[in-house]
Amino acid sequence: MSWFGGGEVFRSGLCYRRGRGRIFYFRPGHEENPSYHNPDVLRVIGNAVRWAAPTPGATPVHGHTEPLR
């Protein structure tokens, strides 16, 4: 959770599923901040890449199709 001077808060990391996809969002800091060199931050990013990687499964169907019965 990030916070700002005006009292606002913002989720700095989250992950969720959308259909067969996996989405990861992470905001560890500004690029001018050395946070991207922090071993814990690099570990979170590495874990997220492995978690969000595609997995085998049925081919998704896109467009207009007849409903499954």
- Residue with the two structure tokens 């996996």: 22
- What string of DSSP letters covers 11-54? --EEEEEETTEEEEEE----TTSGGGG-HHHHHHHHHHHHHHS-
Once rounded to an integer, what is the mean pLDDT over residues 39-65? 85
**Higher local confidence (pLDDT), 45 or 63:** 45
* pLDDT exceeds 90 at position 51: yes
The answer on pLDDT for 2 being more than 80 is: no
pLDDT at 1 over 80: no
The CA distance from 54 to 52, in Å, is 6
pLDDT exceeds 90 at position 43: yes
Look at residue 65 and tell me whether its pLDDT is greater than 80: no
The domain spans of the chain are 2-52
**pLDDT attached to residue 57:** 76
Under 8 Å CB-to-CB from 10, ≥6 apart: which residues? 1, 2, 3, 4, 27
Q: Give me the residue label for tokens 């989250």.
A: 14
